[in-house]
Amino acid sequence: MDLTDRPRRLRTDGIRPLVSETTLDATDLVAPVFVDATTDERVPIESMPGHERVPISEAAERVAEIRETGVEAVIVFGIPESKDAEGSRAYAEDGVVQEAVRRITAETDAYVITDVCLCEYTDHGHCGVLESHAEDDPTLTVENDPTLDLLTMTAVSHAAAGADMVAPSSMTDGMVGAIREGLDDAGYSDVPIMSYAAKYESAFYGPFRDAADGAPAFGDRRHYQMDPANAREAMREVALDVEQGADVLMVKPGLPYLDIVRAIRETWDHPVAAYNVSGEYAMLHAAAEKGWLDLDAVAHESLLSIKRAGADLIITYFAERVAEQLSSGR
């Protein structure tokens, strides 16, 4: 055979790492932290092996543990001590996230991102103010514009507590613009917004809803989260968030939506984030527990694929494990 092009020449041990097109680093990763105002001790999350809810008193300690692995950023989720129809503990000055952020920023050098939503704080589990009779009428769910006021109050309260970045996740129309205006008016013009710009109504969120106690009490979130069948709609959603002032554009979930990550990367020059969600994490753990997969190998390959698709940063429950793997050269 007279082959002029032999790709295998570049796959030998000496040259293979030199021509690798994508690299993964601990600084690409963001670790989720669940802070629970209802407990005085760490509580394991059964559907997410290796993860826990931590009390407010241990929030900074938990983040310090993450920092030791080389991961520099965390995203904080809160479980409040009480809930009501409008999620008032989400924007309370002494709320669980606000108190945790104060401790984390005072005691660590982590970059602190906060999730801005109401689902963990409402007694109905939806991401905003309910329309009248929503519980009895499947065509109704969340009132859009009144919800914007509460999201803005929440984001401003997080910034006041010391959050470095806020991340609105409710898929409420106009949320980025409302929060940007609220932050600027309150004197927090330097606090960036990472928008959950393309967030799908996904079946991969199940374990997270156990972790954050945020499952809907009735119905589902199809009226505000995106249809998994739609790609063009994602580009429209992202364009609106860019226009309203989003600084970072997120896709959630990650692995089932790599086409969306790639499309956003090729269309905008903003940083792109992807959320490697709880279901993606749990299914790999379940397969590894059966002996069907090498957990370290598939965790690394999963995150590498998200990076290769175009993500600049990845929120993942594998953050600590993969960071330690990278630092050890495994």
All domains of the chain in start order, with CATH: 21-329 (3.20.20.70)
Q: Which residue numbers belong to the known binding site for Zn(2+)?
A: 117, 119, 127
- Mean pLDDT of the 140-145 span: 78
pLDDT band at 329; cut points 50, 70, 90: confident
Model pLDDT for residues 194-224, shown as the tens digit of each residue? 999 999 999 898 886 666 566 655 555 567 6
Please indicate whether residue 154 or residue 4 has the higher confidence score (pLDDT): 154
Q: In whole angstroms, how large is the CA radius of gyration of the chain?
A: 20
Strand partners, 313: 273
pLDDT band at 86; cut points 50, 70, 90: confident
Please indicate whether residue 207 or residue 148 has the higher confidence score (pLDDT): 148
pLDDT band at 330; cut points 50, 70, 90: low
Burial of 288 (0-12, 13-18, 19+ CB in 10 A): middle
Please indicate whether residue 330 or residue 256 has the higher confidence score (pLDDT): 256
What the block records as the tokens of 61 is 């300690």
Does the pLDDT of residue 288 top 90, yes or no? yes
pLDDT value of position 3: 86
H or E stretch at 314: strand 313-316
Please give the torsion angle defined by the CA atoms of residues 142, 143, 148 and 151, in that order, rounded to the nearest 10 degrees.
Answer: -30
290 an active-site residue? Answer: no
Q: Which residue numbers belong to the known binding site for Mg(2+)?
A: 237
Share of the chain above pLDDT 90, in %: 76
Q: How far apart are CA 56 and CA 34, in angstroms?
A: 10
Which stretch of 9-13, 218-222, 255-259 has the lowest confidence by average pLDDT? 218-222
pLDDT value of position 126: 74
Q: How far apart are CA 62 and CA 211, in angstroms?
A: 16
Does the pLDDT of residue 298 top 70, yes or no? yes
Q: Identify the active-site residue in 83, 199, 290, 307.
A: 199
H or E stretch at 199: strand 194-199
Does the pLDDT of residue 189 top 90, yes or no? yes
Q: How far apart are CA 115 and CA 113, in angstroms?
A: 7
Q: Within 10 A of 218 (CB to CB), how many other CB atoms are there?
A: 13
What the block records as the tokens of 125 is 């589990």
Strand partners, 75: 32, 113
Query: Token pair 């940083």 is at which residue?
Result: 271
Q: Which residue numbers belong to the known binding site?
A: 117, 119, 127, 209, 221, 237, 278, 317
Strand partners, 84: 122
What is the pTM for the complete model shown? 0.92
Does the pLDDT of residue 240 top 90, yes or no? yes
CB 200 within 8 A of CB 222: no
Q: How far apart are CA 61 and CA 80, in angstroms?
A: 19
Model pLDDT for residues 110-142, shown as the tens digit of each residue? 999 999 998 888 877 777 777 666 666 666 577
- Mean pLDDT of the 285-310 span: 97
